[in-house]
Chain A
Amino acid sequence: MTQEELFKIAEKWFREQGWKPFPFQKKTWKAFLGGKNGLLNAPTGSGKTYALWFPIVLHYINQNPSYRTSHKKGLKAVWITPLRALSQEIRQSAERIIKDLDLPLTVGIRTGDTSTKERSQQRKTMPDLLITTPESLQLLLATKGYDKMFKDCNAIVVDEWHELLGTKRGVQMELALSRIKTLSANLRIWGISATIGNLEEARQVLLGPESLAFQNSVLIRAELNKKIHVISIIPAEIETFPWRGHLGLRLLDRVIPIIKKSKTTLLFTNTRSQCEIWFQKILEKYPELAGEMAMHHGSINKDTRIWVEEAIRNEELKAVVCTSSLDLGVDFAPVETVIQIGGPKGVARFMQRAGRSGHRPGKESVIYFLPTHAIELVEASALQQAVVKQAVEDRMPYLNSFDVLVQYLTTLAVSDGFIPAEIYREIKSSFCYQGITMDEWRWLLNFIVLGSQSLQTYDEYKKVEIADDGRFVVHNRGVAMRHRFQIGTIVGDANLTVRYQKGGYIGSIEEYFISKLTPGDVFTFAGRNLEFIRIKEMQALVRNSNKKTSKVPSWMGGRLTLSAQMSQLLREELYSARLHPDQQSDSIRALAPIFERQERESLVPGPDELLIETFKTSDGYHHIFYPFEGRFVHEAMGSLLGYRISLLSPITFSLAFNDYGFELLSDKEIDIQAVIDNDLFSTSYMLEDLQKSLNSTEMARRKFRDIAVISGMVFTGYPKKGVKMKHLQSSSQLLFEVFRDFEPDNLLFLQAFRETFEHQLEEGRLRLALERISRQEIVWKACKNPTPFSFPIITDRLREKLSSEKLADRIKRMTALLMK
C-alpha cells in the first residue's frame, strides 16, 4: 500500500469519530511510516496517543497485507509510560483503533500490577502491542531468551519522556534502548515530551548523541498555542497577611466562589499533607460541598484514585484537591478552572497544570495562583511573565550513573549473560555513558565479579561470574531472585501501608511520620481521622476516630526549587518594587505595605545590590543573604560561604534556605565586614571549597542511599513481604561510612559526591550566581528585628549544619547550655 492509501484509513477513522487530525499528527504518521525516529513535543491531552498508535497500526497493515488470513504472533511495538496508572487509558485508545479497523492485534499491559499468571502467559506469547513501564522493561531484559522476544519489535514509544529525562529511570530507558537497537533490525524509536527548555537535547538522550538512530530522526512540535490566563488571588488586607507559611488557608474563602462558578475545579497543592489539610478545611467550613468534592494524591489507594478520575470525567465533582498525581494522564474535559496553591516551583509544571482546564477547542485555560505568604506574591507576578515568555525549565540528564549501569549489567548477567565488548559498544553510544573510560568500565566489571578490584583471600563475595565462554553470568539463584526484586525499587522513604485493623487498605504513608506517633494518637489521612493502633510488619493498623487532630502526615514533596529562568523573572519582579505603581503588576502593587516596612527596617534591593541582614534573637545570631536564586543554589552558596567564613575563625552554623535567600545561624556573631573585605563570594577555588564544606558530605550521604540501593549494595527486602527496610536505612548510612574510611576511591562512592555537585548544588548555576554577585554592591543592614523578607527563612526548620570547630569544644559549650 502507498502512504496515501494508509493515510486514508486513518483519516476515515478520524472522520467517523467526528474529528479532524491535527497537522502534528499527520506529520508524525508520515515520519514514522518513512522509517524515521523522532521526538514529538505535544502536551497532555492533545491527541498525542493517536499520533503514534496510528502509524504503528498502519505499518503493521502495510507489512502484513494478508493479515486477515495469516497473523504472525509476537511483540510488534512497546509503549513505555512512566506511570502505570496511565496504562489503562493508553490501552483503551489502542484497542479502539484495532476494534474499529477490525485488526487481529492484541494489546497487553505489563507493570507491577500485572498478575503472575498473566506474566507467565505473556512470556509464552507476547501481545502484539505491549504497554509497560521502564522498570518492567528492565525485568523483561532479566528474562531468559529476551533477545527472541524483541527480534520482530519495530517500534518503541516512550511517553512522557520529559518526566523520565532528568531521572535515573530515564537512564534505565537509555540502556534498554541501547540493547534493543541491537536486537531488532528494523526499529523505530519515538519519544513524546511536554515542552521543556532542552527539547533538542531530549531527543539526543533518547536516541544516542551520535548514533545512526539520531541522524535518522526528526523533532515534531504540536504548536497548539493554547492561551493561558493567569489570575493572582490577592489578599484584601496585605498588612495582616502572613509573612510566612506554606498552607495558604487564609485565602480559603476566596476559593469557594471560584469553585461554585465553574463546572469542575482542580486545586493543585504542592505536598500531600497540604492536600489533606485543604480538603478537610474546605469541608469544615463549607459542608455543603460534601459529596461534590474529592481528594487525589499518590498515597491514596488505587481504586479510590480511579473512582475520582472517573467522577471527574462524568462531571460528578465540583472540586478535586490534588497534588502532582493529576499532572499527567488523559483529559478531563469538564475541568474549567485550575487553582494553584503556593508556588508551583516550575514554569513547565505550572503551564501543564493550567492546561488541565478548558480543553474544549477555542477555550482558554484559566489558572488562579493562590499565594501562601506575602512574598510569594512576587512569585505570582513572575509566573505571569514566565507563562507569556514560555520560559520553561531544562531537565538535566544524568551522566555516568554507574549505579544504574551496575544494575543493568547484573540484569543482563541474570538472563542470558553478556559479552563485555559487545555491551561496551552499546552503552558507549548512549548519552549517559558517552564519556565512560576503559578504566571505569574495567573497574565496573571487577566490581560486579569480585566486589572489589582484586581477588582477596577469605573473600566470599558472590554475584556475577565469568563462564568458560567469556560470558558474564549469574549462576546463583538467590542472587538472581534478589536482583529481580531490586529492579524497579523506586527509592524513597520507607512506606508503610495503612490498614484498618478489621481489614481494608487505605493507602501508604512514610515510615518517618508513623514513627513519631504513639498508639492512641489521631491523625488525618485520605480525608479521614484515624486512630493509630500499632505497627504490624510493614503495616500501620488504624481505626476511625471522631477526635479532632492537627496531625497530618508530611511528605518530602515539599522540597522543590526554582529554575534559573524563573529565578531571574522573580528578581526582575522584585526589582520592580522600586518602580512607579503604574509600571508594576497587581501583585507587586498589592505588596506595597510590605515593601514599605522592609524598606524602613532594612532595604528592598535593586538589580545592583546584594542584601545582607543581621540581627539577634533568642535562637542566636542570624545572618541572612538574599541572592534570589532558588533553593538549591542557596544551599550551595550557603555551604560555600559558611565554609569560607569558618576559615576566618572556628565557628559552627546551621544553614537554612528557601527560594529567596539563605541564613547562617550561629551562637557567635559573624563579622560581615570581614566577609565583604575578604571577597568571600569569589568564584576562585569554588569547587575545591565546596568539596571541603562539611555539609557536602552530608548531602552526598543522602545521595549515596539511592546509589547503594540501585547498585544492589543494600537489599530493600521483598515487596509486600515488608521486611528489612529499617535494615537498609541504617546500613546505607553505615556503608557510606565504611566506604569513606576504607575505600574512598570507589566509583559508586565518588558518584554520590558528583551527583551532589551536578544535581543538588547545581555547580554551574552557582558559578553564574557568584559572577552576578561580583558585579553587585553588597549592602549590609544591621537590623533590630526580623524583617518581612527574613521571616520565611528564619522560621524554616529544615537545617544543615556546618562547623570548623573541634568537636570537644562544641561539646563543652553544649554541655554548658544543658547545665544552665
Chain B
Amino acid sequence: MSAQGRLLIVDDELSVRDSLGKWFREEGYDIGIAESASEALTRMAESHWDLALLDIKMHGTDGIELQRRLHEIDPDLVVIMMTGYASVDTAVTALKNGAYDYVSKPLDPDEIAHIVKKALAHRETEKENLRLRETVAEITRPQELVGQSPAMKKVFEAVQTVGPTDATVLITGESGTGKELVVQAIHAASVRRFHPLVAIHCGALTETLLESELFGHEKGSFTGALYRKKGKFELAEGGTVFLDEIGDISLKTQTDLLRVLQEREITRVGGNQVIKVDFRCVAATNKDLEKLIEEGKFRPDLYYRLNVFHIELPALRERREDIPLLAHHFMRKFAQSMNKRISRISPAAMEQLVRQPWQGNVRELENAVERAMVVAQEPELKEQDFFFKAPPLPSSGGRSLEEIERAHILQVLEQCGENQSRAAEVLGIDRVTLYHKLKRYGWSRSAVENR
C-alpha cells in the first residue's frame, strides 16, 4: 500500500479519469481507474481500495446506485461523489447513503486535496478508535468467574440480567467469595463499560477521608487540601462506582451518600457548587445490613436505595463441587505466570482440597494453590505441596454411604495385607460378597503380590 492511500476513480469521461488519475498519482496515491459501474465493481473485487471518487451521472448504473453496491462489498470504503451539476437533492441522497462528501466539477485542487486527505485521516481515526476499543475491552475484561454449581449459575444469570441495565446492585457474601469480580462482570456487561470503573473501599478510610474521596474537596477546605480534588463520583464520568464494604460507613456519610444516589448531584467538601454526576452504583458488603438496620447502625432508606437488585454470593463450602474446577483454573493461571509446566493435581491433593473448610473462600483457595505452585515439582501438584492451616473435615464429611463403605473396605483390605478372606472376616461379610464389591470398585491386587 502506498503511503497516501489507494484511490479508485470512477467516471465515464476519459479526460476526467486521465487528468484526475495523473493529478492524484503526482500527489502520491495509488490510483485505479474505472469507466463504468461494472468495471468499478470488478476493480473492487480484484483489490482493496481506501477511497472511491464516483461520478454521480454515468451511463447505465449511476454513482448513487454504485455507491450502494460498493458499500455492500466494503462498508469501510470512503466514497466522495462528483457531479457536473450542483444539485442539492442528489448531494443529500448521496450523503444519506453514506457518502463522505460531495464535490462539484470542475474540482478546486485545494479543496479536493484537502477533502481526500481529511476523509482518509477520518477513516484511519475510525479504525484506530475501533482498535483501541477492542484493546480496552481486552484489558478491562473481568477475570473469569468460575463455577458450575447451581448457586454460581444463579449468580451468572443475575449478572447477565442486571449487567446491561442501569440498576443499582447490592452484592453480599463472605469475604473472599469474589464480590469484586462480580462488579467487574456487571461493569463489563453494561453500556458504561468504556467509562471508568472506580472502586472505593469504604471500610479502610476514616469518615472525613472517605467524604473527601467520595465527593472531592476544594483547595483549602481543610489542612492539607493544597489542591482541588475530584471525588470518585466525578472521576467515574459515566462509568460505575463500586462502594466496597458499604456496611462500614458512618451514619453521616450514609446520609450524604443517600443524597447522591437520589439527586445524582454532589458538592465537594468545602465547596458550595452543586455538580451533576452520572454513574451507576454497585455496593458490596460482607455484613448483614438488615441486622445493622435493626441495631440502628445503617439507614433503611439507603439500604432500599442500594438493594434494587441483590446478588448473594455463596461461600465456597456451599459449592464444594466447584473446588476442582477452581483449583484447576488457578493452577493454569499460576503455571502461566510462574512459567511452570504443572498441568495436573494429584487425586489425593484434590481430595484434601475438596474437604477443606475454606473459611477465606475462593481467595484462600487461590492463595493455597499459588503457594503450592511455588514449591511444587513439575508436572503435578501433590498433597505435600499444600499447607492447610485448618484440619480437614472428618473423612465422612459430605460423602455418601457407599463412598464411606468403599473407603472402609479398602482400608481393612490394606491392613490385612490384601488377604481377602481375612478382610471379609474382619468386615463381617462373606468372601463372595467382598469379591463382588471389590470387582465393582475395579480393585486389583497390587503389583508386589502379583509377582
A and B associate: no
Mark B residues whose CB is within 8 Å of A. Answer: none
